[in-house]
Amino acid sequence: MNRIEEACLIFNPVSGQREPEQDLEIIRRILEPEITLDIRFTTEEKGADEIAREAIAQGAKAIIASGGDGTLSAAASALVGTDIPLGVISRGTANAFASALDLPDTVEAACEAILGGVTRVVDAARCNGLPMVLLAGIGFEAETVDRADRQAKKRFGVLAYVMAGIQELRELESFEAEIEIEDKIVTVTAVSLTVANAAPPTSVLAQGPAGVNFEDGLLDITVVSPVSRAGAIAATYHLLQTALNENATDRDDIGYLRTKRVIIRTDPPQKVVLDGEIIGNTPIDVESVPQGLTIFVPKDALPDAPVEKLEGLPGLKVESKPAAGFEE
């Protein structure tokens, strides 16, 4: 338990499709009887990451972020590598951040989770030196995110991404990619590359492996390489099905691998989306930060997976030894 008495609340007043004033009123009504809130609003000039860093420098013991995926990821980025807990109150279009980390996606439930004081430590990563909580996308995903502007998301919600994806399919182009990991360099022709630390099932282009694990200290890389638009549609649908069924992909035009660090170079250079925001073009260098982020979770959240199970084994004998290492 990690009950808090005060926290900095970072609130994005333009996120989502609901009335922000009503959302803020709900948050204050639930939290303020128990927690003293230092409420700070994001602006076009000052994002959640900068506000979070300022609050931490001023002694904040907890950060609560309320907004869309961009706001939440930005706030989280300031906490990577610290033990300061993050409370997540999703109010965005897709709410991928909450879904990826198994967090509540309603304002009320998110507030209750924060009040419960239960925390969980999950992995994070760094992409070109920038903190990453969810994923980095190259090619199709980055172009789709770039097409889905704020006005479209306000009007159509998550459908804005679908519409942008359909438009992008009309201009689908492949590129050459070089994927360098610890023990090999892979060269491939692709239309999409995704490097994921955590990803919800709706981030279909990250769903090559059988479930993206945000507590294994590894990055999940998915390569999508269809030879036609019809193949791209079929591959995307297949990834959605495997994500929903928690199975690994078995198509010849989709590949995946896991690694602690990856460097990706492309020809020609491709746009890169990092946690929902375009950050520039390839190349990228991504490295896992195991147990890099502490988040508030509901009381009934699944416990951390046990690291050891020995009881019941025939002939079991356990002998204690000094924790000095192995005998050579």
All domains of the chain, ordered by start, with CATH?
6-117 (3.40.50.10330), 131-289 (2.60.200.40)
Give pLDDT tens digits for 81-105: 999 999 999 997 778 888 889 899 8
- Which one of 71-80, 170-179, 240-249, 311-320 scores highest in mean pLDDT? 71-80
pTM of the model: 0.77
Q: Which of 65-79, 157-171, 208-222 has the lowest mean pLDDT?
A: 157-171
Give pLDDT tens digits for 38-75: 999 999 999 999 999 999 999 999 999 999 888 998 99
Residue 266: HSE in the Cβ half-sphere, 13 Å Cα cutoff:
22
Higher pLDDT, 153 or 199: 199
pLDDT exceeding 90 applies to what percent of the chain? 48
Give pLDDT tens digits for 228-285: 665 666 666 555 666 556 666 667 777 888 999 999 999 999 999 898 788 999 999 9
Q: How far apart are alpha carbons 288 and 204 in whole angstroms?
A: 21
Contact 289, 80 (CB under 8 A): yes
The distance of Cα 301 from the centroid of its chain, to the nearest Å, equals: 18
Assess whether pLDDT exceeds 50 at residue 127. Answer: yes
